[in-house]
Structure 1
Amino acid sequence: MLVTACSRLTPALRGPRAPSAVAGRYLLAPGVRSFADRSDKAEEPRTFHPALLQFLVCPLSKKPLRYEASTNELINEELGIAYPIIDGIPNMIPQAARTIRQNKKQEEAEQH
C-alpha cells in the first residue's frame, strides 16, 4: 500500500507539470501562453483580464471595481482609491492602494 502511494506521489514531486487542456483553457487569460507552450524565450509580461471584474470587489466597501488600462489599476470610485495590478495580479491589500480623490480635487481647483 505504501509503495502504491509513493509511486503515485513521485511524479507530482519531481517538478511542475503542465495543466490539463481543460484547466488551461479556463485559467489562462487571452494572450498568455500555457506552461506547455512556453519555450526558453524571454517571459512576456502578464496582463490583467477584464473578465475577472465580475468576481472581484473592493475588500473595504465590497463594491464592484473599474479597470483603468492607462494606469493598470482597479479603481473604487466611491472611496477614491486605486489598487495596483502587478504582473497581471491585482494587489487588493488596502495598504497598497493609492488615493485618487486628492488628484480629482486638485484638477477641479485648477480648472476653476
Structure 2
Amino acid sequence: MLSATCRRLAPALRRLRALSAVAGRFLQVPGARLCSDQSERAEQPHTFHPALLQFLVCPLSKKPLRYEASTNELVNEELGIAYPIIDGIPNMIPQAARTTRQNEKQEEAEQP
C-alpha cells in the first residue's frame, strides 16, 4: 500500500522539483547559485543583498534603514534600533530588534 502511494506521488514530486528549479532561476540574487542538494546549500553562505534596502523600511517609523555589515543588522538611526539578519533574511519584528542607544543613555545618566 505504501509503495502504491509512493508511485502515485513520484510524478507530482518530479513536476514540483522542475517548477521550483525554474522559479529559482528567476528569483536568484545576482551572483548566487541554484542549489539542488543539501551539501551545496551548506557551502553557500546566506548573506543579505544590499539592493533590498530600496524596498525595506522600518515597520515602526516607516523610515529607510541602513545595513551594518559588521553586525549583520539593519539599523534605524532615528529610533536607535537594529533588526537582525538571520540566514540572509531580515527579521523585521519590532520585538526582535536590538536597541543601539542603550550605551548612550547609560553615559548620559552617569554624567552630571
Structure 1 vs Structure 2: percent identity of aligned residues?
74
SS at match of 2:84: strand
1:18-48 deviation digits (Å, cap 9, x = unpaired):
432xx54552223421135x57346122100
Partner residue in 1 for 2:17: 16
TM-score where L is the length of structure 1 = 0.70
Letter matched to residue 103 of structure 1:
N
* Count of residues paired in the alignment: 99
Contact 2:35 2:41 in 1 (8 A): no
Query: Where in structure 1 do 4 or more consecutive aligned residues deviate above 3 Å?
Result: 10-19, 23-26, 38-42, 104-110
Structure 1: which 5+ residue stretches go unaligned? 1-9
Give the aligned CA root-mean-square deviation in angstroms. 2.9
Q: Distance in 2 between matches of 1:91 and 1:19?
A: 26
Return 5+ residue gaps in structure 2 as ranges: 1-9
Q: TM-score, normalised by structure 2?
A: 0.70
Structure 1 residue 68, shift from structure 2 partner: 0.3
Partner of 1:6: none
Bigger helix share? 2
Q: Which residue of 2 aligns with 1:50?
A: 50
